[in-house]
Amino acid sequence: MDVVEELWARVTTPLPQLPMTVLVGALLAAAVVVLSPALWRPARTVVTIAHEGAHGLVALAAGRRLAGIRLHSDTSGLTVSAGRPTGLGMVLTCAAGYTGPALFGLGAAALLAAGHAVGLLWALLGLLALLLVQIRNWYGLWAVLATGAVVLAVTGWLPPAGQAAFAAAGTWFLLLAAPKTVLELQRARRRRAAPDSDADQLAGLTRLPAVLWVGLFLLVDVGALLLGGWWLLV
């Protein structure tokens, strides 16, 4: 019980606000990863985890039955759920993918701004554990386990200030990466390389043009970036 109480105290005790130099340094580090082609390719798997996890969470919230999630080495992914093939639940499930990473980042920014960096990392571990049981391929299993191992190592070995700095870098990464994936989506659609994209599926479900959905994804992601950045820096 003492160990549980000590862990709970660590998770729930607010930390002092991070210095501006640390927040800006975390922002610059995340920006380098997002803008560097060599670093973006492997880091994009983290965005795919958030993307497919968002599909899964919204599918469950909409009353659908989650049938499994796959993550692929080319940074694509697939979430399969069972239920009505049309309707609001299906629309929300499809729309969650490209907005999910940004909204996760926005929630993380809110926790960081409130001083709950350690709680944020443990919440991330919990979400990864929930995702793990839905993974249906070996690469996806490895990707989620590797991500979880990194977060677990940070929570176990770094002091609270180091954990907060890591959480800030991860938060900035999600906020910056989300709009980039939407721009990549539109470039792929322009080349007709993504005929079954989330935007095109939504077009079939709602009869609204796919490009309108791409614009909505981008609007949500940029809005989350601006709001999250405001919470962190102002």
The pLDDT tens digits for 65-97 are: 999 999 999 999 999 999 999 999 999 999 999
Determine the Cα–Cα distance for residues 163 and 156; give it in Å rounded to an integer.
Answer: 9
Looking at residue 57, its pLDDT comes to 97
Locate 139 and state its tokens: 């690469």
Residue ranges for the chain with pLDDT beneath 70: 1
DSSP string for residues in 179-210:
HHHHHHHHHHHHTT--TT-HHHHHHHHH-S-H
**pLDDT of res. 227:** 98
Phi, psi of 110, deg, nearest 5: -65, -45
- For the chain, give the mean pLDDT: 96
Look up the pTM and report it: 0.96
Distance CA 111, CA 108 (A): 5
**What are the pLDDT digits (tens) for 181-198?**
999 999 999 999 999 999
Output the pLDDT for position 197: 97
Task: Name the token pair of 59.
Answer: 């599918």
Token pair of 98 as six digits: 């490209």
Q: In terms of Cα–Cα distance, which of 130, 64, 138, 74 is closest to 94?
A: 64
Amino acid (one-letter) located at 83: G
Residue 97 · residue 59 · CB < 8 Å: no
Q: How far apart are CA 105 and CA 98, in angstroms?
A: 12
pLDDT of residue 1: 61
